[in-house]
């Protein structure tokens, strides 16, 4: 039996282990909640993460359709990008899949090294995609913060009477 076939059979256990690794990156109270709460409406982060991991695992085994892969990866990374994770913490869970697969299919990996190299490379590609998504999200967060700060300062200056309608400060020395 090939490596992919073994991994497909072990998918529920592999995805659950992967989910546990992702959830363990959160504080312990949050981690317990994400693992125990099964209601997708009460636990949208846990539900989004689990569904995304399942889809990504299928895509890794099937050959990596980028559109489908991004549809599973993007929501997970967006959530982690607005939380207090560094780039490596937000995206590092991708690489934990390698150890999970090694444990789940050690014998088959040794028997099928070329199949393992393909999977290993796909996981690396997924890691790079996750980093790109994370950085794009963080850039957007910083743009929003800068825009809000600019608007806040404008309102302060406007209320203090230092601005007039043309946008030129009243006391700037520029003739009206």
Reported as a single tens digit per residue, the pLDDT across 28-43 is: 999 999 999 989 999 9
Phi then psi for 12, rounded to 5 degrees? -55, -40
Give the model confidence (pLDDT) of 127-146 as tens digits.
999 999 999 999 998 999 89
Q: Distance (Å, rounded) from C-alpha 114 to C-alpha 119?
A: 9
Which of 13-22, 33-42, 145-154 shows the highest mean pLDDT? 13-22
Q: Distance (Å, rounded) from C-alpha 10 to C-alpha 26?
A: 26
- Average pLDDT over all residues of the chain: 91
What is the reported pTM? 0.82
């Amino acid at each position: 039996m090939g490596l992919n076939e073994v991994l497909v059979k072990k998918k529920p256990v592999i995805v659950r282990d992967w989910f546990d690794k992702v959830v363990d990156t959160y504080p312990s109270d949050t981690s317990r909640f994400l693992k125990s709460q099964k209601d997708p409406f009460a636990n949208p982060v846990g539900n989004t993460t689990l569904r995304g991991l399942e889809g990504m695992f299928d895509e890794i085994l099937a050959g990596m359709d980028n559109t489908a892969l991004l549809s599973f990866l993007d929501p997970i990374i967006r959530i982690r990008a607005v939380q207090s994770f560094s780039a490596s913490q937000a995206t590092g869970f991708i690489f934990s899949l390698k150890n999970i697969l090694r444990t789940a299919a050690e014998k088959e990996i040794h028997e099928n090294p070329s199949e393992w190299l393909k999977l290993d490379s796909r996981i690396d590609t997924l890691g790079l995609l996750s980093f790109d998504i994370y950085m794009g999200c963080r850039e957007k967060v910083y743009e929003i913060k800068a825009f809000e700060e600019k608007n806040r300062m404008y309102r302060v200056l406007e209320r203090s009477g230092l601005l007039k309608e043309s946008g030129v400060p009243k006391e700037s020395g520029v003739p009206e």
